Amino acid sequence: MARRLAYALQAEDIAAEPGYLQRADPRFKTAAMLVLIITVAWAHQLASVWSFVLLGALLAVASRVPLRRMALQAVLPVLAFTGLIAAPALFLVPGPALVTLPLAGWAVTEPGLHSALLLVGRAEASAGLALLLVLTTPWPQVIRALGALGVPAPITAMLTMTQRYIFSFLQSAADMQEAHHSRIMAPMTGAARRGMIASAAGVLFTRSLDMGQNVHEAMIARGYRGQSLSLDTWRSRPADWLLLGFAVALLAAVIGFHL
Amino acid sequence: MIYDLEDVSFAYEADQRALAGVTLKVAPGERIALLGANGSGKSTLMRLLDALSFPTAGRMSAAGQALSEQALADEAVNHAFRRRVGFVFQNPDVQLFNATVFDELAFGPLQLGWARPRIIAAVDQALETFGIADLRSRPPHRLSGGEKKRVALAATLITEPEVLLLDEPTNALDPESRTILVDLLCSARTDGKTIIVATHDLEVAEAVTRRTVILAKGRVAADGETRAVLHDLDLLRRTHLLRSHWHVGSDGRPVAHAHPHRH
């Protein structure tokens, strides 16, 4: 639990680094990343799709995002998940065989490999770009950028609150776990551990209800009447327009040249 | 009168009365300490003063306007009341619900409809005044307890309310943060404001206020000049604000006695 909390806090430190993407206006960066993800989904040539994976890696290096973190948080989980989904296509899509598995005798077909690599490549590139956005932008700014791009205020307000209090509850959960560990004398059985987790979840739920009520009152005390308002203080630079222009140009090229 | 409470009672449940027949008048510019042991009704009274709850019996008004759920449902009345009264909650985590310190300070002015340049100027000034300029872009979960209290106070004072309600402002603060907070409350920033501080910190009461009201079991047990009230040791003992403790006397022998805690 504490490791998860530290992991989340480390993301905020990465967002504070003076890297390329960190310097970009969050609105332009969010829009550019969305356009790039759409472009990846649109691309249907292997080289195009995997070049977006490479682009993600280059942007990570330019933005001082550790590649190890990218691998642990995006590349490997996506490979495991999408790989499972794509694996059957290797054998099921009809076409000329490339290799045959020695024991099972299943043939990996050329169109099957193409489909699997395309699916995995799209997933890797999209996840990598989305992760880059989140790691190089403080979460509050991502939410505000979404607001600036037209996401309704109640949704951005809900996301803000979730982000704000998730740390409080993570901390509470970690404290409860530590307090519990400090009082147990022997290893717990599976049933006892499940009971402890259920009880902790119940306590956290009650606390979250209580906290929700108190936060609402604090908002009312400062004049809140049900309308979420925010103050936008961003100023765009030529570099921000360049980033967005680059993303749009890539989308146009992929559509125009059937890449 | 800023506040006029007449025979006010409040109960969370029918059989659980938190306040019983409280009568209290607060004049503009008064600085009042609301003292009482845990469960004496301080926080409940503060919630009533901020119109977050309403009396279950008795009458209550603020600046001549009756305070009731129906009255506050009116936009104009609500706006005027929230503009006039600021409340610093006991738990700053409850109050700091925005993504960054900047957003937190801008929240109140935004709700009150201030113009954008005025909000930015006010936030910048508040960041300087409260010594929290370096926290401008920091999310609240990355602030220390003392920093959270200062940000909460700045976020409340930024709209320049006439009345400042503080619920246990020094609770869980280290000595340095406590001193900073008390200094802020005694600074020119709060000149002319009506301040009501709910606390069981007798030193804060003495440093910040001139009048003290003691609550015990939901009733007013004493109401008078702070210095006089805080030196009435029998009253403080009766209301569980003071207990006997040991000191080592000049002869080296331990002596048990009670007094307001100043060494």
Q: What is the nearest CA distance from A143 to chain B, expressed in angstroms?
A: 10
Q: Which domain holds residue B96?
A: 3-257
Phi, psi of B176 (to 5 degrees): -65, -45
pLDDT at A148: 81
Given an 8 Å threshold on Cβ–Cβ distance, is A160 in contact with B111? Answer: no
Window 12-31 of B, Cβ < 8 Å to A: none
Residue numbers in B near A12 (CB within 8 A): 139, 142
Is the pLDDT score of A156 beyond 60? yes
Per CB-CB distance under 8 Å, the chain B contacts of A165 are: 97
Q: What are the phi and psi torsion angles at B97 (to 5°)?
A: -105, 0
State the average pLDDT for chain B.
87
pLDDT in tens, A165-178: 887 788 788 888 77
pLDDT attached to residue B30: 94
- B15 confidence band (pLDDT: 50, 70, 90): confident
- Closest alpha carbon within chain A to B156: A222
Q: In chain A, which residues have their Cβ closer than 8 Å to the Cβ of B52? A: 217, 220-221
Q: Is the pLDDT of residue A109 over 70?
A: yes
- Best-predicted range by mean pLDDT among B192-201, B240-249, B254-263? B192-201
- Structure tokens that stand for A153 in this block: 């205020």
Residue B221 lies in a domain: yes
Average pLDDT over residues A187-199: 81
Give the mean pLDDT of A133-144: 83
d(CA B227, nearest CA chain A) in Å: 31
| Nearest partner of A140 among B149, B102, B115, judged by Cα | B102
Predicted confidence (pLDDT) at residue B221 exceeds the cutoff of 90: yes
DSSP B23-91: EEEE-TT-EEEEE--TTSSHHHHHHHHTTSS--SEEEEEETTEE--HHHHTSHHHHHHHHHHEEEE-SS
CA distance B150 to B92: 9
Which of the two residues, B139 and A123, has the higher pLDDT score?
A123
Q: Over the stretch B153-176, which tens digit does the pLDDT of each residue have?
A: 899 989 889 999 999 888 877 888
Residue A126 has pLDDT above 80, yes or no: yes
Shortest distance, CA A157 to any CA of chain B (angstroms): 9
Angstrom distance (rounded) from CA A31 to CA A37: 10
Whether A215 and B97 lie within 8 Å, measured CB to CB: yes
- Which of the two residues, A198 and A164, has the higher pLDDT score? A198
More confidently predicted of A152 and B57: B57
Listed by start position, the domains of chain A span: 2-147+234-256, 152-181+196-221
* Confidence at B212, pLDDT banded by 50, 70, 90: very high
Q: Most B CBs within 10 Å: which of A220, A231, A233, as the mutation test of the B interface?
A: A231
Question: What residues of chain B lie within 8 A of the CB of A219, using their CB?
Answer: 97
Q: What is the CATH number of the domain that holds B211?
A: 3.40.50.300
Residue B48 has pLDDT above 90, yes or no: yes
Task: Decide if B263 is inside a domain.
Answer: no
Number of domains in chain B: 1
pLDDT of residue B73: 87
Percent of chain B with pLDDT over 70: 95
* Residues on chain A touching B87 (C-beta within 8 angstroms): 218, 221
Q: Is A97 or A233 the better-scoring residue by pLDDT?
A: A97
Q: Do B100 and A140 touch (CB under 8 A)?
A: yes
Give the pLDDT confidence score for residue B262 in this predicted structure. Answer: 46
Is B262 part of a structural domain of the chain? no
Residue pairs spanning A and B at CB distance below 8 A: 85
> How do residues A29-55 score in pLDDT, each as one tens digit?
999 999 999 999 999 899 999 999 999
Of all residues in chain B, the percent with pLDDT exceeding 90 is 44
Instruction: Tell me whether B82 touches chain A (CB under 8 Å).
Output: yes
